[in-house]
Amino acid sequence: MALTGFTFMVLLALTVLVHFVVPKSWQWIVLLAASAVFYASFGIAQAGYVLITTAVSFLGALALHRLGGAAKLEGADKPRIKRQRRRLLIALAAVQLALLLALKYAGMVFPSAGGWIVPLGVSYFTLAAIGYVIDVYRGKYAPEKNPLRLLLFEICFLHIVQGPFGRYDQMGAQLRAQHSLSYDAIKHGAVRMLWGYMKKTVAADWFGVYVNAAFSQPDQYNGLTMAIAVVFFSLQMFMDFSGYMDIVCGAGQAMGIIVPENFDRPLGARSTAEFWRRWHITLGAWFRDYVFFPVTVSRPALKLAKALRGRGLARLAKLSPALLAMCAVWPLTGLWHGATWNFVLWGSLNGAAIAFSMLAEQRFAAWRDRLRIKPERLWWRALSVARTFALLSLIRVLIITQDVPQAMGVYRALGRWSGIAWGSLASYGPGMRVRHLAFCAIACAITAVVLFVESRASREELLSRFDRWPLLLKYAAAIVMIYLVVLFGASGQSVSETFLYANF
């Protein structure tokens, strides 16, 4: 059941209707039933994996909580109980990770391995489950006593496809809460969903048509075509993923559920580190809380910092825990995105770019001072944004190609700029019809409009401003967006039923 399909629209409409008809104490049951139908539509056999994950998390968290309570009793052997809790946590995480590794990564290490059913959202519900038991272990909140409520958190259709990563004390509370019917919430949710469908159908899918054509045979095309394809892929990633977020956030808003945001204008980032603070925010927060911070305060990190400080390398000693943590976080981030060595290399290069910026920050600042460059000048900000976009676009080639040799073929093609007939459309399009190139041009225009609109204010403020428009203008804008979605969707060349991040 694709989020862009008519079946999902019917399911969502029925869910919203029933959600506000039944007693409020039953609303979470309606969400669970709708999520079960949605998940089962991708295959009943997949349900077994998520049920195992939920059962392990549910029982393990209860056991961790009981041991924590036992440690507070008078006369308790606290060191022994502490060791038991730590071992249990490691065992729970190991079981979850073993399941994920077997399902998703066995073929990466053993090419002959295959035949596994990879369940929908396995990368998301596995990390969410691990985060849940770690939070209970840390005493952040008490474990859930109802396994069906925890199951709803795992498979809720508002985040199972490709996130966001909700924390149980936040997203779980939203799913358990009792919500009242609000006309404004339904209206705003519908508008945001329509905005997301326009991003997906009008822009992302048509960028994908160009990108797929160019990357299928990079040796046949010139550097101009491949450069456009590389830029289009970055724009496709943004419009596809942020469009998905608009759809699920809008669907949640219609029911009074606040889904965590995943984007904060990432294409305006001036550095790689800033980009990753703005892109897939919830995934970054997960790795920060459960991998990055634990590594920075680990014994090896502290020993390394002490050793460097003893050698007089004070600045490097200060940065070394973070640098060591990035050596763990970024290859894992790449591996989470995809089960190929290309993704590991992609993640490592992102981490290397951030590490280089950290190490060279003082030198860059001194260089700017000597040249009397003010970082807040418009031309410098624009240059920084363009540099960051170009660097990340080049690194992103690794995640659309199957292996390093294919990626190198794309990089070689980017260097072929001789003999281009600048006045010929054939120099701009990878064997595409003129009509299709026109659709891609419209996709560029829509993307420019989206970036401009979203740069003006927060989403809440944008919806508030939309409310203040004259009624006729609001209906006209909605009709134009619906027309574009239907027109581009009916073209037959776009409308990918899946979202890019659903493959990660």
The DSSP annotation for 65-122 comes to: HHHHHHHTSTT--HHHHHHHHHHHHHHHHHHHHHHHIIIIIHHHH-TT-------TTH
Residue 279, classed as helix, strand or coil, is strand
**Could you say which DSSP state residue 326 is in?**
H
Tell the residue number behind the tokens 């009509």, with chain if given. Answer: 435
Amino acid at 416: R
Contacts (Cβ under 8 Å, ≥6 apart) of 76: 70
Neighbours of 385 (CB within 10 A): 17
For 483-499, the three-class secondary structure string (H helix, E strand, C coil) is HHHHHHHCCCCCCCCCC
pLDDT attached to residue 68: 86
The CB-side HSE value for 243 (13 A sphere, CA atoms) comes to: 31
pLDDT at 417 over 70: yes
Q: Are 463 and 191 in contact (CB under 8 A)?
A: yes
pLDDT confidence band for 244 (50 / 70 / 90): very high
Note if the bond before 218 is cis, omega within 30 degrees.
no
**Quick one: average pLDDT of 159-172?**
87
Q: Are 185 and 254 in contact (CB under 8 A)?
A: yes
Least confident interval from 95-104, 277-286, 489-498 = 489-498
Alpha carbons 499 and 239: distance in angstroms, whole number: 10
Neighbours of 318 (CB within 10 A): 12
Alpha carbons 398 and 348: distance in angstroms, whole number: 11
Q: How do residues 36-56 score in pLDDT, each as one tens digit?
A: 999 988 888 788 888 999 999
pLDDT at 97 over 60: yes
Written as six digits, the tokens of 335 are 């591996």
Distances (CA, A) of 302 to 43, 280, 327, 329, 358: 48, 29, 15, 17, 19
Q: What is the dihedral of CA 151, 154, 155, 158, to 10 degrees?
A: 130
Alpha-helical (H) ranges within 338-467 are 341-370, 378-400, 404-414, 434-456, 459-467
Q: Are 129 and 96 in contact (CB under 8 A)?
A: yes
The mean predicted confidence, pLDDT, of the chain is 88
Q: How do residues 485-497 score in pLDDT, each as one tens digit?
A: 888 776 655 555 6
pLDDT confidence band for 115 (50 / 70 / 90): low
pLDDT attached to residue 436: 80
Amino acid at 438: A
Neighbours of 384 (CB within 10 A): 16
Alpha carbons 89 and 139: distance in angstroms, whole number: 13
- 143: closest CA among 156, 129, 124? 129
The conformational region for residue 144 under phi > 0 = left, psi -120 to 50 = alpha, else beta, is beta
Q: How do residues 249-264 score in pLDDT, each as one tens digit?
A: 999 999 999 999 999 9
pLDDT confidence band for 116 (50 / 70 / 90): low
Amino acid at 487: L
The CB-side HSE value for 125 (13 A sphere, CA atoms) comes to: 31
Alpha carbons 281 and 164: distance in angstroms, whole number: 8
What pTM was estimated for this model as a whole?
Answer: 0.91
Alpha carbons 483 and 416: distance in angstroms, whole number: 39
Written as six digits, the tokens of 373 are 């460059």
How much is the CA Rg of the chain, to the nearest whole Å? 25
Residue 265 has phi, psi (to 5 degrees) of 50, 60
pLDDT attached to residue 420: 72
The percentage of residues in the chain with a pLDDT greater than 90, rounded to a whole number, is: 52
Query: Which of the pair, 417 or 306, is modelled with greater confidence?
Result: 306
Q: Are 120 and 41 in contact (CB under 8 A)?
A: no
Distances (CA, A) of 487 to 135, 212, 246, 479, 483: 47, 21, 20, 12, 6
